[in-house]
Amino acid sequence: SGQKVCYGDLKRSCYKLAYFQDLSRRVGFQEARQACEIDGGALLSLESEAEQQLIENMLQNLTKSGSGISDGDFWIGLWRSGDGLATSSACPDLYQWADGSISPFRNWYTDEPSCGSEACVVMYHQPTANPGLGGPYLYQWNDDRCNMKHNFICKYGPGIFPTVPAGNTYDTSKPEDQYHVIATETGIIPNLIYVVIPTIPLLLLILVAFGTCCFQMLHKSKGRTKTSPNQSTLWISKTPRKDSSMEV
C-alpha cells in the first residue's frame, strides 16, 4: 500500500510513501524513480531540516498505524552517477538530486556515504534493529547498491494533489489537520478500476448469449410431445403372472 500526503496549501509539496509489506514487490532505485515520474512526481528531494522532519513524522504515523508496518528502508532521490572519484574524499560531493534540485541539505548516518559500488541513497527505516554507532537506524541516510530492493518516497510539485478531490480544504492550524493522509495502491500496480471497466462490454455480451441460449432451450422443450402415462407404463404387465421360478 502507499500513503499520499498533501498539505491544504497549494504552495506546498505533496508526498507519497510507497511501502510494500511483501518484500518481493519492493524495487530498485531506477524502478522507483520511474514509478514516481509516471505518477507525475519525482523521487523525494529534501531541501531543509523542516522537510526532513515532516517526512519523519509521516513515517512515524505509518509505523503507529497498526497495519503491520515493519522494517523497510525508503529510496530517496539522491544518487551518484559514474565511478570517477567514487572512493576518494570528494565522493560525498558527487551526489545529486534526481529531480534537479540543488539543495545542499544532507542527513547522513555516521560514516556514510561509504561510496564504492553504493551509489544510490535510502532513508533508514528499521524500527526493530538494534542501534548502531550513529544511533537507531531511523530516518538518517545511507548509500546502497542501486539494484537493492526497497520502498520509496515520491514528491509532487506545489499545487499537485494526486488523490485529494478538488474543493477539499484542510485546516493546517490544527495539529491533526497538518496534513491529510489517504491510503492508495502505488503507481506501479494499475488501479483495479482500469482493469474492471474494459471488461464490462465482454461480460454483457456473455450474459446476453447465455440468456439467448437458455430461452431457445426452454422454447424447444415446450414444443416436444409429452409422453402419455399409458405409454410410459407399457412395459409393465397389467395382469401380473406368477413366475414359477419364484415359487417356493
Residue 24, domain member (yes or no): yes
**Rounded CA gap, 90 and 13, in Å?**
31
Question: Does 108 reside within a domain?
Answer: yes
Rg (CA), the chain: 33
Q: Which pLDDT score is estimated for 171?
A: 34
Residue 146 resides in a domain: yes
CB-CB contact of 184 with 163 (8 Å): yes
How many other C-beta atoms lie within 10 A of the C-beta of residue 62? 18
Query: Measured between alpha carbons, how far is 35 from 105 in angstroms, rounded to an integer?
Result: 24
Using an 8 Å Cβ cutoff, are 155 and 32 in contact?
Answer: no
Tell me whether residue 108 is exposed, middle or buried, using C-beta atoms within 10 angstroms of its C-beta: 0 to 12, 13 to 18, 19 or more. middle
Give me the residues paired with residue 2 across strands: 18, 184
Count of the separate structural domains present in the chain: 1
Q: Does any domain span residue 214?
A: no
Per-residue b or e along 159-190, where b marks 16 or more CB atoms closer than 10 Å to that residue's CB: eebbbbeeeeebeeeeeeeebbeeeeebbbee
Residue 130 lies in a domain: yes
Half-sphere exposure of 52 (CA within 13 A, CB side): 15
Q: Which CATH number goes with the domain that contains 9?
A: 3.10.100.10
Give dist(CA 16, CA 245) in Å, integer.
91
Residue 29 forms part of a structural domain: yes
DSSP-assigned letters across all residues of 47-82: -SHHHHHHHHHHHHHHHTTSS------EEEEEE--S
- pLDDT, one tens digit for every residue, the chain (248 residues): 465 677 666 567 899 999 988 899 999 999 999 999 999 999 999 999 999 999 999 898 877 765 667 789 999 999 997 655 566 678 888 999 999 999 999 999 999 998 888 999 999 999 989 999 999 999 999 999 999 999 999 999 875 444 433 333 333 333 333 333 333 333 444 343 344 455 677 777 788 777 787 777 777 766 554 444 444 333 334 444 444 444 43
Range of the domain at 50: 4-82+92-160+179-193
pLDDT of res. 53: 95
**Is residue 244 a part of any domain in this protein?**
no
Residue whose cell numbers read 506546498: 12
Confidence at residue 135, expressed as pLDDT on a 0 to 100 scale: 95
Decide if 246 is inside a domain. no
Task: Report which of 246, 239, 212, 185 is spatially closest to residue 1, judged by C-alpha positions.
Answer: 185
C-alpha cell at 186: 502505488
Question: Which pLDDT score, from 0 to 100, does residue 2 have?
Answer: 60
